[in-house]
Structure 1
Amino acid sequence: MGAIVMMTGVTRLERRLATQLVFDTVNRLGGWIDDTRMYSNLMNTIRLNLPAGAFPAFAEALSGAGITVDVPHDLGGHPEAERMATLQLTFIHDEPDLRREVPAIPG
């Protein structure tokens, strides 16, 4: 297993749709999602695993759906080798910041 592949992406798609597209694409390419962190409605960070040879198809599929992703060109190693990766996905929109109510904890 090599170093973690760090990718960034940007889109104008609605955040839930964009996130689901990433999940579906990873699954279709034989990978899986390890974790997702949502930072308001501005950014998600998705930790995933993919076969090394699937990264170009990953970027191409997302680009065709409206998500621009930068993927390193030469990941080295065997194309079937599993590679851990992160995708920081930024959403471009005019929506206000998403606020969530945090209930008070009785103390």
Structure 2
Amino acid sequence: MIPRTIRLKGFTKENRHEMIDYTVRSISNCSGWVTNHTMYSNKIIVINFEIEVKGVKDLLSLLNSNGISLFDESIKIAKDFPENLVEANKDKEIMGSVNITFINDEPDIRIPVPPIPG
């Protein structure tokens, strides 16, 4: 059965700018597109995306290489994802997110919170 959403979590010690760019390119190359992102200081980013089902397996293998290591729960998603997709389901779109934790020695970047009106 095809899940309605996929939530991926991983970490890297590589340069965060390069890994963010790599992740976005990987999503695009696998029939997906980024819908939103949230950067939490310079330690964590969450990238939301939508992707056609036919690209999910490729995306999972791309994200688990080139410096990003997926956690076991995300690798399990790849193992449990159906190998043989019914032709009608290949273009079906599902939502997903990838949470990347950056392991670095940089000091935290303070992101200002906008004032609340009123």
Q: Shorter-chain TM-score: which interval?
A: 0.7 to 0.9
- Give the structure 1 partner of residue 43 of structure 2: 42
Secondary structure, in 3 states, of the residue corresponding to 1:97? coil
Identity %: 25
- Distance of aligned partners of 1:60 and 1:100 in 2 relative to their CA distance in 1, 3 Å threshold: same
Task: Quote the Cα distance in structure 2 between the aligned partners of 1:64 and 1:74.
Answer: 19
Larger mean CA deviation between 74-83 and 52-61 belongs to 74-83
Q: Which consecutive segments of 4 or more residues in structure 1 shift more than 4 A?
A: 100-104
- Give the structure 1 partner of residue 98 of structure 2: 87
| Residue type of the alignment partner of 1:14 | N
Show the 5 A alignment for 1:1-107: 2-69=3-70, 70-71=74-75, 72=77, 73-75=79-81, 78-100=89-111
Contact 1:53 1:80 in 2 (8 A): yes
TM-score of the pair, normalised by structure 1: 0.82
- TM superposition shift of 1:64: 2.5
TM-score of the pair, normalised by structure 2: 0.75
Contact 1:42 1:97 in 2 (8 A): yes
Q: Which runs of 5+ in 1 are unaligned?
A: none
Q: Which runs of 5+ in 2 are unaligned?
A: none
